[in-house]
Every structure is written in C-alpha cells, then in structure tokens.
C-alpha cells in the first residue's frame, strides 16, 4: 500500500482542509481576536480594548437574564427529553402483546416511530412558525380547545409568565422523537433474554427501566445528554422566530442577545464576539462536565 | 457503543406456564402504553395536520373555527403562496443551492474520510481531530467573523458563498461518520486490487466508493435535510437581494407579513409546501434517514 500514496493523500485532503480552515477554523479563531476590540462593524476601525468587553459583559443585566434562561433550559430540556424518550422507547420495545412472549414490541411500533420522528426532519423555522400559530391567542389550536372545554386560556407567548414555558415545551416536543428512535436502536442491541429473565424474576417495569435498561444504555444516554445540553445553550432560532426574546425579555437567550448585538440596530461586533467567546467556553465546559460526571464503567456483554 | 454486539437471533421463547403477576402487569401495561404512545403521536401529528387542513380553508373559516374542516378545497391559498409570496421561487433557489452544497460536501467529505480511514501519515490524528472538533460548537458562535470572511472573499449575497459555507460546516459530521464507515470495509479487496496494479485513485472511485454506498446515502440524506432546513446562515449571508433568498427566509418573511395582512391561509399553504416534500422524502427513505441521523450518535 506504500507505493504512490502521496498524490492521492494530497489531492484528497488539501481541498477539504482549505475549505474547512477558511470558513470554519479561521472564524472561530478570529472571534477571540475581535472580542478584545471595540469594533462597531462595517467601516469603523477596531481598537484593542483588552478585556473591557468582558468587564462590560459581567455587569450587563440583559446578558445575565439571558444566561439565567439558558441555565433553566439546560436544567430542564435534557432531563425532560431523555425521560420522555426513554419512556416511549421502553413502551415501544416491550409494550408486549397479551399472552404471548414476555418481551415483544408494541403493535404498530414502526408507525409510532415513523410519526414521532417527524419533527426531526422539519426545519426549525417551520417548527417555530407553526407553533407560533398553535399558540395564537385567538385562533390557535390551544386557546380554542381550552375555550371549547369552557376553560380560560392564557395568552401563551404574549404573557411574560407563560412565554418561556411555551418555548421550552416546543424544544422538548421537537426533540423527543429523535431520542425515542435513538434509544430504541440502542435497546434493540440488548439481548432479549436479559429482559425476559428480569420480568420472570418479577421486577416491575419501573425497576426494569431504572436498574436494567438505563445502565445498559448509559453510553447512549450520556451522548444524548451532551447533545441536548449544547442544544439548550443554543435554542437561538426557535426563540428568535417565536418571541424574539420577548415579551419583556422573558424568553431571551444568549444567542438572541449575541445576534441582536451584532446585527441589530447597533452593530457592536466586538461586544457580540465577546458574548460568543463566553458561549464557546460555556458550551465546552458543559460538554466536558457532562462527559466527566456521567462517566461510569462500560457494561460489556456478548 | 462499539462494544455492543448484535443480539443473537433466537426465536422469542414463549412463557408457557402463565406466571400470573407478570401477565396481569403486562395486560395493564399494554393498555397504558398504547394510551401514552397514542397521546404523544397525536401531539406530534395534530399541529402538522392542522397546518395542512388550514391551508385549504378561507381566512374567515380559520378565524371562526380553527378546529373545523374546510367548506371547500381552496387551492388558491397554495397559488397565492407559490407565486404571490414567491415560495415557488425560493423553493427552487433552495433546491439549486442544496444540490450543489450536498454534492460538494459528499465529494470533500468522502475523499477526506477515505484518507483518514485508510492511509497512515504523520499528523493524521491532528488533522482528523481538527475536523471532528467542529462537531462540538454551534455555528452561531462563529457568525460574526464568518460574515466578514465571506464578505471579504467577495461571496456575500451569493449562492456560491452559501454553498461553500454549507459544505464547510457539514464536514465535521460527514468526515466523522464516513471515516468510521470506511474503516468497517474489508481491507482485503483493496489490497487485492493494489496487487493487481490498480492505482490509488482508481481504487477509490471504482472499488471503495461503490462499497461505501449505504454509508454515503445515509450521510447525503442527513446533509440534505440539514442544508434544506438551514435558516441562520442564509439569514446572515444572503441578506440583500430578495430574489435570491432560500425557502426558510421566504417562510419567515411570509410569517412576518401575515401579521399585517392577516392572510393566515397563505402562511399555512406556504408551510405545507415546505413540509410536504421533506416528509415525503423522509417516509420514502425512512430507514436511511433514521440511521443517518442517529448513527452519528451511536458510533
């Protein structure tokens, strides 16, 4: 294999590396440099200001408010999504038919999986715009359903008290199906005999899930956790399109802060990059932490 | 997850001696699980179904009875969205850009991944991790500098710029996935071909690429969906000329204008136009889509 491999390596590797370095690596690196300037974008020149942007950021109440919202998302979205995902995946994997084998898939399982996965293939834009209509205070599905039952309905996205939870619900809604399929795939790799043995021993479903399934799927759950954590720290497009951070900044997230700072009425590119750099380190530490904290011994079976 | 072996294909062993508590529990759980599964299924389908049905209603019907069925099929909503709101043009724009960007991603991703998987050289690990490291960070962290990188290269407001950026940001996942895939292919075929005097390039295009087809299809579908659904990048990199917009931008504009014009039916028709082809592709290639989207996490 040694002979004449270099022409191929060079031809195959140089174009992707150039493309990647030019459009991906260099912007990430430049973000660090720009974050230490007072650049106002476009024509104005950029003066180095050291860490002044980060100092401003530390005292910026809007940034803290957005970070608080991201923190709540980080605390809730992964847990809710994973719990619901595991729950439905378990139901699908061992709903079991009456009187037949101990552990079988539920009838129509394939159809459920197909449908649950729908949100995953839809654009976030479509999800956001669609749910904005579902939450519409007059003609939306939710309001009219509640009114039909004779119940009062909140104004959903229009009320600072409810808007954030409405957005959070959409985040969970759009992710659960993916993790049902992901966990389902992981579960199908677990030998059925294990479940059958556990069931015969008289373990309840909940115990089975907690004591058997979860430890066996731990690697997958952990990866899911990291992905969802990164998602929760982002959440930008959904919020921007559904509420644009409002009403009264109740749904603001750090991504919207950054976007408004850079491309809003003022183009504070230096300050926006500083927010980006903080996000970069936050994302990195959250990812590393979740991998560290969640580390357990791998379970191997054959 | 590489340690997990495939389940041994044994026939399900029926529990003949009816173990009472287990059985009863199964019965209850059976009904319960169907209930829960059905509820979530409805939660998923209802908004989509509502959107689709509303796209055939008049604005009056939508306001008066959001849960009702249309009195007649008002296809003019779809026409207003397709031509009036230019959704048709944006649809074709997206198709052109995404076709180009997916092809470019696949070419660059497959060649790079092949080198990582099959050739030894100094610095291979470093370059590989440079690519894969990109998986960790959301695009928007690089947004501000990216805007200027693209503008300084004279690619601002061009489809070429957007195509290149899509491809560049898809490389981490594509390289990661395809490297793993190329590693699973048997080496014996490649060695035999080389012994027979087949060149390295010929080997790749004639032998390895065809062998990697299942993996290539999965990643291609994954990339197609993520490029097709992209909103942030066009929003920043295609700000000006409306006639060049992508579908997502057109839908957003439609939603904004709906707020003033009150033309709900047109918005629902526009959304339906955007959703239907994607759902059709998904249902047709379901297995590949699901494996493409989930495999990245399982490997």
Give chain B positions within 8 Å (CB) of A234. 138, 140
Which of A8, A119, A125 has the CB atom closest to B231's CB atom? Answer: A125
Domain assignment of residue B107, yes or no: yes
Which of A98, A145, A258 has the CB atom closest to B27's CB atom? Answer: A98
What's the fold here for domain A60-293? MetI-like fold (1.10.3720)
Q: Mean pLDDT for chain A?
A: 83
* Contacts for B85 with CB less than 8 Å, ≥ 6 apart: B250, B253, B254, B257, B266, B270
* Contacts for B219 with CB less than 8 Å, ≥ 6 apart: B106, B109, B173, B174, B177, B178, B292
Whether the per-residue pLDDT at B223 is higher than 50: the answer is yes
Rounded distance between C-alpha atoms, residue B141 and residue A281, angstroms: 10
CATH assignment of the domain containing B141? 1.10.3720.10
CA torsion angle for B74, B77, B82, B85 (degrees, to 10)?
170
Q: Given the structure tokens 């579960």, which residue do they identify?
A: A187
Domain assignment of residue B9, yes or no: no
Phi-psi region of A157 (alpha: psi -120 to 50; beta: other; left: phi over 0): alpha
Rounded distance between C-alpha atoms, residue B86 and residue A216, angstroms: 51
In Å, how far is B42's CA from the nearest CA of chain A?
Answer: 9
Q: What pLDDT does B132 receive? A: 87
- Tally of domains in chain B: 2
Which of A8, A112, A119 has the CB atom closest to B37's CB atom? Answer: A112
* Contacts for A140 with CB less than 8 Å, ≥ 6 apart: A133, A134, A156, B66
Greatest Cα-to-Cα distance within chain A, rounded to the nearest angstrom: 79
Give A129-181 as a 3 state SS string: HHHHHHCCCCCCHHHHHHHHCCCCCCCHHHCCCCHHHHHHHHHHHHHHHHHHH
Same domain (yes/no): B28, B113: no
Q: What pLDDT does B114 receive? A: 94
Compute φ and ψ for B297, nearest 5 degrees. Answer: -85, -25
Give chain B positions within 8 Å (CB) of A119. 44
Instruction: Please state the rounded mean pLDDT for residues B96-115.
Output: 95
**Enclosing domain of residue B168:** 81-298
End-to-end CA distance of chain A: 34
Give B141-209 as a 3 state SS string: HHHHHHHHHHHHCCCCCCHHHHHHHHHHHHHHHHHHHHHHHHHHCCHHHHHHHHHCCCCHHHHHHHHHH
Three-state DSSP at A48 gives strand
Instruction: Please state the rounded mean pLDDT for residues B134-140.
Output: 76
Domain assignment of residue B6, yes or no: no
The token pair at B95 is 């198709």
The full DSSP string for A182-224 is HHHHHHTTS-HHHHHHHHHTT--HHHIIIIIIHHHTHHHHHHH
Give chain A positions within 8 Å (CB) of B111. 11-13, 15-16
Q: What pLDDT does B116 receive? A: 93
Rounded distance between C-alpha atoms, residue B15 and residue B201, angstroms: 57
A:B CB pairs within 8 Å: 307
CB contact under 8 A, B165 and A101: no
Q: What pLDDT does A174 receive? A: 93
CB contact under 8 A, A272 and B144: yes
Q: What is the pLDDT of residues A201-252, one digit of tens each?
A: 877 777 877 888 888 888 888 888 888 888 888 888 889 889 888 788 888 8
Domain assignment of residue B144, yes or no: yes
Same domain (yes/no): B67, B175: no
Whether the per-residue pLDDT at B36 is higher than 80: the answer is yes
Listed by start position, the domains of chain A span: 60-293
Same domain (yes/no): B61, B135: no
Is there a contact between B128 and B109 (Cβ–Cβ < 8 Å)? no
Same domain (yes/no): B189, B105: yes
Give chain A positions within 8 Å (CB) of B176. none
Last residue of a domain, one of B40, B59, B76: B76
The C-alpha angle B106, B109, B115, rounded to 5 degrees, equals: 135
Is there a contact between B295 and B78 (Cβ–Cβ < 8 Å)? no
Same domain (yes/no): B120, B52: no
Domain assignment of residue B56, yes or no: yes
CB contact under 8 A, B115 and A181: no
Is there a contact between A119 and A127 (Cβ–Cβ < 8 Å)? yes
Compute φ and ψ for B155, nearest 5 degrees. Answer: -110, 5
Omega cis (within 30) before A247: yes
Question: CB A165: neighbour CB atoms within 10 A?
Answer: 15
Domain assignment of residue B8, yes or no: no
Select, from the ranges A39-43, A148-152, B193-197, B243-247, the one with the highest average predicted confidence (pLDDT): B243-247
Q: At what angle do helices A218-234 and A61-94 cross, to 10 degrees?
A: 150
Same domain (yes/no): B70, B127: no
Same domain (yes/no): B238, B99: yes
The token pair at B84 is 């009036």
Same domain (yes/no): B72, B98: no
Domain assignment of residue B29, yes or no: yes
Q: Between B259 and B255, name the one with better pLDDT.
A: B255
CB contact under 8 A, A139 and B8: no
Whether the per-residue pLDDT at B16 is higher than 50: the answer is no
Which of A16, A113, A262 has the CB atom closest to B111's CB atom? Answer: A16
Domain assignment of residue B12, yes or no: no
CB contact under 8 A, A276 and B130: no
Q: At what angle do helices A141-148 and B20-54 cross, to 10 degrees?
A: 110
Q: What pLDDT does B225 receive? A: 84
CB contact under 8 A, A173 and B252: no
Residue of B nearest to A42 (CA): B148
CA dihedral sign, ordered B244, B52, A241, B226: negative
Give chain A positions within 8 Å (CB) of B172. 24
To test the contact with chain B by mutation, choose from A24, A83, A221 the residue with the greatest count of B C-beta atoms within 10 A, namely A24
Same domain (yes/no): B178, B66: no
Q: What is the pLDDT of residues A77-90, one digit of tens each?
A: 999 999 999 989 88
Residue B9: band (very low, low, confident or very high) from pLDDT cuts 50, 70, 90: very low
Residue A105: band (very low, low, confident or very high) from pLDDT cuts 50, 70, 90: low
Same domain (yes/no): B120, B169: yes
Q: How far are the Cα atoms of A78, A172, A294, B258 from residue A83, in angstroms, in the given order?
A: 8, 11, 16, 37
Is there a contact between A134 and B267 (Cβ–Cβ < 8 Å)? no
* Contacts for A271 with CB less than 8 Å, ≥ 6 apart: A53, A56, A57, A261
- Residue B7 parent element (H or E): none
Last residue of a domain, one of B76, B98, B123: B76
Select, from the ranges A57-66, A71-80, B177-186, the one with the highest average predicted confidence (pLDDT): A71-80
CB contact under 8 A, A123 and B228: yes
Which of B66, B112, B231 has the CB atom closest to A237's CB atom? Answer: B231
- Residue B119 parent element (H or E): none
The full DSSP string for A245-265 is T-STTTT--HHHHHHHHHHSS
Same domain (yes/no): B71, B98: no
Same domain (yes/no): B86, B227: yes
């Amino acid at each position: 294999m040694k002979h004449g491999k270099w022409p191929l390596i060079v031809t195959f590797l140089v174009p992707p590396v150039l493309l990647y370095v030019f459009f991906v690596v260099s912007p990430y690196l430049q973000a660090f440099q720009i974050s230490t300037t007072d650049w106002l974008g476009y024509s104005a020149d950029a003066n180095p200001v050291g860490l002044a942007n980060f100092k401003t950021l530390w005292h910026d109440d809007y940034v803290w408010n957005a970070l608080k919202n991201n923190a709540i998302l980080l605390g809730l979205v992964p847990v809710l999504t994973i719990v619901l995902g595991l729950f439905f995946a378990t139901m699908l994997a061992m709903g079991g038919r009456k009187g037949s084998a101990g552990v079988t898939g539920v009838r129509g399982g394939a159809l459920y999986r197909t449908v649950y996965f729908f949100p995953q293939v839809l654009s976030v834009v479509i999800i956001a715009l669609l749910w904005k209509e579902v939450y519409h205070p007059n003609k939306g599905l939710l309001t009219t359903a509640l009114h039909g039952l004779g119940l009062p309905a909140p104004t959903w996205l229009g009320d600072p008290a409810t808007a954030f939870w409405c957005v959070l619900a959409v985040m969970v809604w759009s992710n659960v199906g993916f993790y049902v399929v992901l966990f389902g795939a992981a579960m199908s790799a677990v030998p059925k005999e294990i479940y059958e043995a556990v069931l015969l021993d008289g373990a309840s479903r909940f115990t089975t899930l907690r004591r058997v399934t979860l430890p066996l799927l731990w690697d997958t759950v952990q990866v899911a956790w990291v992905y969802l954590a990164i998602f929760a720290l982002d959440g930008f497009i959904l919020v921007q399109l559904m509420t644009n951070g409002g009403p009264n900044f109740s749904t603001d997230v750090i991504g919207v802060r950054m976007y408004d700072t850079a491309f809003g009425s003022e183009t504070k590119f230096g300050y926006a990059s500083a927010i980006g750099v903080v996000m970069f380190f936050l994302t990195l530490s959250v990812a590393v932490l979740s991998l560290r904290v969640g580390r357990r011994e791998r379970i191997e079976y054959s | 997850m590489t340690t997990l072996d495939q389940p041994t294909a044994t026939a399900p062993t029926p529990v003949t001696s009816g173990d009472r508590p287990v059985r009863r529990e199964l019965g209850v759980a059976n009904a319960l699980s169907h209930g829960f599964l059905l509820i979530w299924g409805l939660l998923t389908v209802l908004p989509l179904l509502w959107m689709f049905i509303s796209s055939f209603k008049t604005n009056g019907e939508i306001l008066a009875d959001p849960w009702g069925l249309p009195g007649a099929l008002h296809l003019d909503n779809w026409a207003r969205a397709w031509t009036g709101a230019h959704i048709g043009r944006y649809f074709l724009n997206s198709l052109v850009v995404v076709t180009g960007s997916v092809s470019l991603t696949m070419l660059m991703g497959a060649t790079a991944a092949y080198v990582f998987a099959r050739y030894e050289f100094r610095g291979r690990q470093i370059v590989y991790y440079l690519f894969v490291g990109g998986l960790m960070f959301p695009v928007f962290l690089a947004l501000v500098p990216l805007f200027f990188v693209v503008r300084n290269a004279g690619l601002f407001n061009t489809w070429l710029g957007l195509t290149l950026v899509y491809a560049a940001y898809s490389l981490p996942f594509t390289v990661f996935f395809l490297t793993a895939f190329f590693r699973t292919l048997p080496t014996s075929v490649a060695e035999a071909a080389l012994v027979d005097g087949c060149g390295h390039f010929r080997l790749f295009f004639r032998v390895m690429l065809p062998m990697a087809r299942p993996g290539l299809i999965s990643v291609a579908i994954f990339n197609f969906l993520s490029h097709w659904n992209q909103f942030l990048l066009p929003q920043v990199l295609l700000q000006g000329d409306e006639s060049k917009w992508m579908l997502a931008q057109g839908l957003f504009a439609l939603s904004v204008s709906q707020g003033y014009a009150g033309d709900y039916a047109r918005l629902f028709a526009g959304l339906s136009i955007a959703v239907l082809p994607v759902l059709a592709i998904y249902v047709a290639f379901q297995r590949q889509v699901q494996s493409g989207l989930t495999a990245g996490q399982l490997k």
